[in-house]
Amino acid sequence: TASVAILAQGDSVGVPSSWYFHLLITMVIKTDLCPYTEYRIYPGHGQKSVAKDGKVSFFISKKADSLFHQRIKPVKLRWTQAWRRMNKKGKGDETKSTRKRRAQKFQKAIVGMSLDDIKKKKKKK
């Protein structure tokens, strides 16, 4: 415990005091994506399902597995990422609406009158 206290201080060894927290931040956890809900599946969670053809699917829950085998489309369920993507929910700052340009007013010549004649009549008024 004494050596841990020395390392935690960092002064005597030359290691910054936040070395332990740096290790925690850079730790990588292998996650999978559920093919049905598109949620992240963390280690120790999820349920594997093997089809007759040997294709392995890794679902986040029994509910997702059951709905997949009932052939219910994920787009029809409001809590899935597919539904959210289809109905444009979330991530609003990424897709900005295009700016509309206002129609510019300009004069054209009319049949029987030139543009200069029209401008002269406007000035008289």
Residue 7 structure tokens: 């390392």
Q: Dump pLDDT digits (tens) for 16-58.
A: 566 666 666 678 899 999 999 999 999 999 999 999 999 999 9
Tell me the pTM: 0.53
Q: Dump pLDDT digits (tens) for 67-87.
A: 999 999 999 999 999 999 999
Q: What is the largest CA-CA distance in the chain?
A: 102
62, amino acid identity: K
117, amino acid identity: D
Q: What domains, with CATH codes, occur in the chain?
A: 1-30 (no CATH), 31-89 (2.30.170.20)
Cα–Cα distance measured from residue 80 to residue 64, given in angstroms and rounded to the nearest whole number: 10
Q: What is the pLDDT of residue 17?
A: 60
- pLDDT-derived band at 7 (thresholds 50, 70, 90) equals very low
Q: What is the pLDDT of residue 16?
A: 57
Q: What is the pLDDT of residue 3?
A: 47
